[in-house]
Each structure stands twice: as C-alpha cells, then as structure tokens.
C-alpha cells in the first residue's frame, strides 16, 4: 500500500488526511489523499485478521481512486471512479437482495452513547434484518457489501478515512454509499447498501440519529 512518506516524496504539494493529521491544518491542494494505515485496530491488536489498510485519492473533494488491502486475508479491493471495482483482479458486484428480512447487515455499537442507548441501532437492525453482524472494520465491511458477501452496512460514527476508499469501491460495484449525518472532525454516520435495500434501511435508521 502507498505510504504517507511515498506520497510526500513524489507529490509534496498534495494534502494528506488521516487520524494522525486530523487536527492539523491541511495545505491548500486540489489533490487530497485520505489514509487509514489500520482500520480495525482492536481486531489487529487482538490478533484477529479482520483489519485492513485504506487509501483514497480525492480531487476537489471527490474520491477518484481507492484501495483497501487486508494483508492477513490476502485481499486487495480497488476501484477508479467511472470504472469497475475489483478484488484481487476479479470484478465485484453487489447482491440482489431486496427484502430486509432476508438481508445480512453489518454494523457497530455506538460508543458515544451510554448504557443501552449504545445498542439502539443494533437493536433496530436485529428487528428488521435476517441477521446483524459486528465485524470491527468499517472499510472491510463496506467492501464485503461491494463483493455481495453481505447486503448492507451502517455505522453511526465513523471517520472519512474509514470509508473514503471503500465507498468508491462499493459505488463502482453497483451499490450505494451515503453520509446520513456529518459531525465535527471528519466524523459521520454512513449507510452503505447494495442499492435495493437503501431506502428502506434509511427510513428505519435515520429517525434514530
């Protein structure tokens, strides 16, 4: 995967955004790289293989290329705007699931809310979906939607570096990735789906935000 040092060496005028630079004023630049060296840090520190590296290139705020690499799984997802999405060179396509009661939906717990409120989104998904799953890596979760392995992903609080590359990969695979709410410091609520489930999931989850 492309490192921050490599980008600075080849393109010193480009801006680089990530968790480590989120509080630093970025240089004015048409091109911005959005990088997450490890998405799924808790999984990584416990030895679970469900973590990845994510790199996205943005021009005037729009993602034009992205890659998500899961080293322990041996999987490289990538896409360029306007083209297909791939995993290890094989084209990706989202699922055709069009009923929530037959949908596998990935999500996470809302740690910003205390007590049982942290599970309000998980509980709602459990009510309407076939099964919810909490896997622990937003970028990988969105890529699983792109690959048709799961049908949707929702998270009430992730960051732009968690989803910039994966969101493009999903879009290029025929799915839909939408920011439902923005918060300070590049935080956001994100809904990523195969497309047919998007509106019904949006209607079910948006009131909880």
Report the pLDDT value the prediction gives residue 167, as an integer from 0 to 100: 98
Report the pLDDT value the prediction gives residue 15, as an integer from 0 to 100: 83
Report the pLDDT value the prediction gives residue 52, as an integer from 0 to 100: 98
59 Cβ neighbours under 8 A, 6+ residues apart: 30, 31, 32
Whole-angstrom distance, CA of residue 156 vs CA of residue 24:
24
- Shortest CA distance to 1 belongs to which of 65, 58, 63? 65
Q: Give the predicted TM-score (pTM) of the model.
A: 0.92
Domain 100-208 has CATH 3.40.190.80: yes
Whole-angstrom distance, CA of residue 182 vs CA of residue 203:
18
Report the pLDDT value the prediction gives residue 3, as an integer from 0 to 100: 61
Report the pLDDT value the prediction gives residue 182, as an integer from 0 to 100: 95
Report long-range pairs for 87-93 (Cβ below 8 Å, ≥24 apart): 87/143, 87/147, 92/146, 92/147, 92/148, 92/169, 92/172, 92/173, 93/148, 93/173, 93/174
pLDDT in tens, the chain (209 residues): 556 767 666 666 778 898 776 666 666 677 999 999 999 999 999 999 999 999 999 999 899 999 999 999 999 999 999 999 999 999 999 999 999 999 999 998 766 666 666 688 999 999 999 999 999 999 999 999 999 999 999 999 999 999 999 999 999 999 999 999 999 999 999 999 999 999 999 999 999 98
157 Cβ neighbours under 8 A, 6+ residues apart: 110, 111, 112, 183, 187, 188, 189
Whole-angstrom distance, CA of residue 56 vs CA of residue 161:
8
In which residue are the tokens 């990530």 written? 18
Residue 75: both structure tokens together: 């999987």
Whole-angstrom distance, CA of residue 167 vs CA of residue 131:
22
Report the pLDDT value the prediction gives residue 116, as an integer from 0 to 100: 66
Q: Which fold has domain 4-91?
A: Fructose-1,6-Bisphosphatase; Chain A, domain 1 (3.30.540)
- Shortest CA distance to 51 belongs to which of 162, 193, 148? 162
> What is the location of CATH 3.40.190.80 in the chain?
100-208
């Amino acid at each position: 995967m492309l490192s921050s040092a490599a980008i600075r060496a080849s393109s010193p005028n480009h801006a680089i955004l990530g968790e480590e630079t989120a509080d630093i004023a970025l240089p004015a630049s048409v091109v911005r790289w959005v990088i997450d060296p490890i998405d799924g840090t808790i999984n990584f520190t416990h030895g679970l293989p469900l973590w990845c590296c994510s790199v996205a290139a943005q021009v005037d705020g729009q993602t034009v290329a992205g890659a998500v690499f899961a080293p322990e799984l041996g999987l490289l997802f990538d896409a360029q705007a306007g083209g297909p999405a791939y995993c290890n060179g094989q084209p990706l396509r989202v699922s055709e699931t069009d009923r929530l009661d037959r949908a596998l939906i990935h999500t996470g717990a809302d740690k910003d809310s205390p007590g049982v409120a942290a599970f309000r989104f998980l509980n709602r998904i459990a009510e309407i979906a076939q099964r919810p799953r909490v896997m622990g890596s937003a970028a990988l979760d969105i890529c699983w939607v792109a690959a048709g392995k799961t049908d949707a992903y929702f998270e009430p609080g992730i960051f732009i570096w968690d989803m910039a590359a994966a969101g493009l990969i999903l879009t290029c695979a025929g799915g839909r990735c939408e920011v439902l709410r923005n918060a300070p410091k590049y935080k956001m609520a994100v809904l990523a789906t195969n497309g047919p489930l998007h509106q019904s999931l949006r209607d079910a989850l948006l009131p909880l935000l």
